[in-house]
Structure 1
Amino acid sequence: MKIEKNNQLLGQARKLRRDMTPQERKLWYLFLRTYPLKIYKQRIIDSYIVDFYCAPAKLVIEIDGSQHYSQEGQEHDQRRSEALARYGVQVLRLSNREVNGEFDAVCQMIHQTIQDRIRAL
């Protein structure tokens, strides 16, 4: 299934690319930017803007701050993950704390997940 894109979100996606969180910036500049497969930052999928997207693996990487742990945040994330799953996209959720304190393990987890997804697709 072709992934749809709500172009009305383009301005917001551009703003989010410029104003990445410290954890997104760290992950982007120290790992994802030079990853052997193309990874996009603040990519529009359907009516959502995802933190990072690896198209060959159909993998979204989300870096979750505190707002994601509220009841409302968790419900929103669930709806979003279900919408993305309709396109065959898997969501890998990581916390700010993990990116800050376990960076090497986070990078290894992302790499392994990408490799597993590519083999499975």
Structure 2
Amino acid sequence: MEAKRYRLKYELARTFRRALTPPEARLSVRLKGRPKGIHFRRQHAIGPYILDFYCAAAPLAVEVDGSVHDEDDVARRDERRTAWLQEQNVMVHRIAGADVMYDPDTAATDILEIAAKRIALSADRKI
């Protein structure tokens, strides 16, 4: 049963990768191709969740939030998701989809800076 659930989640992530929202698509173009040597995965499954973008080297999850995330029940789910990811040592960076649509270059630059800082901190701890 666990293997079936695992497979279904990865199939769902694959489906999501083929149907990005407009803000996710704009951001994806800017994070594609390892900018500054940093690799991001789109619609990455981790634990019980599928993340919009994930950088394993950082470890950093980027969530592009539309207006639906302002609703109480969705906001509570987001809080649980963030808490679970933080327990796994994954930082969650949330960015409004409207901000990505308005200025995708700045959004991508900010995300890359956060990832680079986390990668540097990780490297410092290993020394």
Q: CA deviation at 1:84?
A: 0.6
Displacement after TM superposition at 1:67 (Å): 1.1
Distance 2:32 2:93 in 1: 17
Q: Which residue of 2 aligns with 1:11?
A: 11
8 Å Cα contact 2:38/2:112 also seen in 1: no
Q: TM-score, normalised by structure 2?
A: 0.86
Is 2:31 the partner of 1:32? yes
CA RMSD of aligned residues (A): 1.4
Match of 1:118 in 2: 119
Mapped partners of 1:6, 1:116: distance in 2: 32
Query: Residue 78 of structure 1: SS of its match in structure 2?
Result: helix
Task: Give structure 1 stretches of 5+ with no counterpart.
Answer: none
Asked if structure 1 preserves the Cα contact closer than 8 Å seen for 2:38 and 2:116, the reply is no
Q: How many Å separate the matches in 1 of 2:87 and 2:7?
A: 19
Q: Which runs of 4+ in 1 moved over 2 A?
A: 5-8
- Aligned amino acid, residue 33 of structure 1: K
Which structure has more helix as a fraction of its residues? 2
1:39–1:53 CA contact under 8 A, matched in 2:
yes
On the 8 A contact 1:63/1:95 being kept in 2, the answer is yes
**Uncovered stretches (5+) of structure 2, i.e. residues with no partner:** 123-127
TM-score normalised over the length of structure 1: 0.90
> For 1:74-113, what aligned pairs fall within 5 Å after superposition?
74-113=75-114
